[in-house]
Structure 1
Amino acid sequence: MATISYNQSSASALALLTGSTRALERQTVRVASGREVNQASDNAAYWSIATSMRSTGLSLSSAQDAAGLAAATTDIASLGMEAATGIVSEIKAKLILARSPGVDRDAVNAEIAQLKEQLGTVSESASFNGENWLQASGAPGVKSLVASLSTGPDGTTSINTIEVDTSETTLTSSGNPEDGLLTRTYSGTTPAGNAYEYYLLSSGGTPASATAKEVGISNATTEDELDGMISAVDSMLSGLTSAGARLGATSGRIGGNMDFLSKLQDSIERGVGRLVDADMEESAVKLAAAKVQQQLQTIGLNIANEQAKSILTLFR
C-alpha cells in the first residue's frame, strides 16, 4: 500500500543512490591518484607497510644526496691530486734536464719556479663546498662520508660511512710543514754518499729541519745536489701516486654505493607500487560502471518520487 508519510520505494532508491555515489567517489579517487590504497581505511596492513617503505625510500634519497656531495668532493680532490702529480713529474723532468752538461740551469729554474706556482694554485683551487683535502691550515683529520643506509630488524636506521684520512692527501700545510706532501722535508743520501734534505714548496713557516733546503737550482748547483733533489722529488711522486690511488679507490667505492642506493630506491618504489597502486584499466572500467549505475539509480529515484506526486494529486 502506498503512503505519503513514508515512501518506501523512494527511501530504497535513495539508499542505493547514496551507495553508488560513494562507490563513484572511491573509484574517482583511485583513478585520479593511481592508487588502490590511499588511506589506512582502504587496507590497513598494506597502508602501514607502504608508509614504512616510503619513509625508508625518503631516507635513501637523502643518503644518495649526501653521497653525491661526497663523490663531488672526492672527485675534486682526485682531480687536483692528478694535476699535482703531473706537475711534479714535469719538475723532475726539468731537474733531469739540468743534469745535462751545458744547460742553462738558471733558465731551467725559472721554469721550475712557474711549475711550483702552479702547484700552489692547484692546492688552493681543489675545494668543493668548503672542503679542501689538498690544503691544510691546521692539523689534517679524518672525514666521514655518507655511503649508504641500513635498516635493522627493529626498524632503526644506521648510517654507513667511508673514512678519508686527509693527512694522506694534504699537499700543502700552512700549520706544520710535515703535514703536506709537498711542504715536508725529504732526506736521504746521494749516490756520492752525501746526505740531502729538500722540500718542494715553502709553507710560509719554518721547515721542520733547519738544514732543509727548498728545491731550486742555479748555474752554481752541483750535480750531487741535483741528484739529491731528483731523489727527493722521486719520494714526493711516490707519495702523490699513493694518495691519488686512495682517492680513486674512495671515489669508485662511493660511485658503487650511489648506484646501489639508486637501484634500492627503484626496488622500494616497485614494491610499494605492487601493494597500493591501482590497476588503471580495471579502475577505469569500474569508474564508468559506477557512473552508469549512479545515473540509473537517479532515474529510479525520480520514478519513485513521481509515484508519490501522483498520489498527492488525489487530494487536490
Structure 2
Amino acid sequence: MLNSINTNPGALLALQNLNATNTELSTTQGRINTGKKIANAKDNGAIWSMAKMQSASSQSLNAVKDSLQRGQSTIDVALAAGDTVTDLLMKMKEKALAASDTSLNTASLKALKSDFESLRDQIQKAADNATFNGISLANGKTAKLVFLANADGGSFTVNAQTLGLAGLGLSLTATFSTASDAKTMIAKITDALQTATNKLSSLGTSSVGLDTHLTFVGKLQDSLDAGVGNLVDADLAKESAKLQSLQTKQQLGVQALSIANQSPQTILSLFKG
C-alpha cells in the first residue's frame, strides 16, 4: 500500500461511509419527526402524487357529508311537520264526527265548527313553518331538493311532499255548517289523512336512503384515509430500531475516520533519527 501524506485512501473510504450513514440517519430522523416515509415529492414522486389525489378525494367527501346532513335535517323538519299534520287531521275527523250527530243543538255545532276551522288553519301553518335553512319539503314551494352524493358531484334527489291543505285535497274554506256537511267532511278528512301518511312514508323512505348513503360516505372516507396512510405513513417502530442502529454506526464511522486520519502520522516515525 502506498504511504502518502497527500492521499489517504482509508480516510476517504471512511468518510464516504460516514456520509452515507449520516444521509440515512437524516432520512430516518425526518420520518420519525413527520411520521411519514413519504413526506414530499422528492421522497417518491409517484406514490406522493397518488396519495395526494386520494387525500383530495377524501377531503372533498366532507362537502358531501355536509350536504347529506343538511338533507337529513330538512327531511326531519318535514317529518316533524307531518306528524303534527296527521295529529291535527285526526282531531278534525273527531270534530266532524261529533258534529254529524243530528241531536246536537246549534251552540254545540258552532263550537265544533270553530274548533274544526282552528285545527284546519294550524295544518297550513305547520306546513308553511316546516323549513330548515330557508328550505322546505312540506310547504309546496319546492318540487325536489338535490344533495351531493359523491366527490364527483353526483346527486341524491329527494322529492318534496306538500303537507299543506292543498296537498292533502283540502282548502282554506273547508268546514261544515250542518250535521250533513259534517258527515260529508268526515270522508274528506279520512282521504286527507291517508294522503298525509302516504307522503310521510315517502319522506321516511328518502330519510332512510340519506342515512344509509351518509354511512357509506363515512366508511368510504375512512377507507381512503387508511389507504393514504398505507402509502405514506412511516412504521415508527421500525424507524426507531433503525435509528438506534444508525446512531451506533455513525459513532463507529467517526472512530474509523479518526483512525484512518492517524495513518499518515506513522510516516513521521520513519524520519526520526
- Correspondence for 1:215: 174
Q: Which amino acid aligns with 2:22?
A: T
Structure 2 gap segments, 5+ residues each = none
| Equivalence map 1:110-259=2 (5 Å) | 110-136=114-140, 140-149=142-151, 157=152, 159-166=153-160, 168-171=161-164, 180-181=166-167, 186=169, 199=171, 201=172, 214-217=173-176, 221-259=177-215
> Is the Cα–Cα contact under 8 Å of residues 137 and 144 in structure 2 kept in the other structure?
no
| Aligned mates of 1:121, 1:295 — CA distance in 2 | 82
Give 1:248 shift: 0.6
Query: Residues of 2 paired with 1:106 and 1:121: CA distance?
Result: 23
Q: Which residue of 2 aligns with 1:25?
A: 26
- The share of aligned pairs that are identical, in percent, is 26
Distance 1:3 1:286 in 2: 37
> 1:283 is matched with which residue: 239, 258, 268?
239
Unaligned runs of 5+ in 1: 150-156, 173-179, 187-197, 202-213
Q: Could you tell me which residue of structure 1 aligns to residue 66 of structure 2?
A: 65
Mark the CA change 1:307 to 1:249 in structure 2 (over 3 Å): closer, same or farther.
Answer: same
Aligned to 1:98: 99
Residue in 1 that maps onto 2:78: 77
Inter-CA distance 95–297: structure 2 relative to 1 (3 Å threshold): same
- State whether residues 109 and 178 of structure 2, in contact with CA within 8 Å, keep that contact through their aligned partners in structure 1: no
How far apart are 1:51 and its partner, in Å? 2.6
Q: Which amino acid aligns with 1:130?
A: G
Query: Partner of 2:228 in structure 1?
Result: 272
Cα separation, 1, equivalents of 2:233 and 2:207:
37
Cα displacement string for residues 279-311 of structure 1 (whole angstroms, at most 9, x for unaligned residues): 222121112212222222233334445666888
Normalising by structure 2, report the TM-score.
0.82
- Taking the aligned partners of 2:211 and 2:259, their CA distance within structure 1 comes to 70
Which residue type is aligned with residue 169 of structure 1?
Answer: T
Which is strand-richer, 1 or 2? 1
Give the CA RMSD over aligned residues.
3.0
| Aligned residue identity for 2:229 | G
Q: TM-score, normalised by structure 1?
A: 0.72
The number of residues matched between the two structures is 267
Report the structure, 1 or 2, having the larger helix content. 2
Supply the distance in 2 between the matched residues of 1:124 and 1:257 (Cα, whole angstroms): 28
Corresponding residue number in structure 2 for 1:191: none
- Say whether the 8 Å CA contact 1:140–1:170 is kept in structure 2: no
Tell me, what secondary structure is at the counterpart of 1:128?
A: coil
Contact 2:128–2:164 (CA under 8 A) maintained in structure 1: no
Distance 1:27 1:164, change over 3 A: same
How far apart are 1:68 and its partner, in Å? Answer: 1.4
- 1:12 is the counterpart of 2:5: no
Structure 1 residue 144: Cα displacement: 1.7
Once the two structures are overlaid, the 10-residue window that deviates more, 27-36 or 70-79, is 27-36
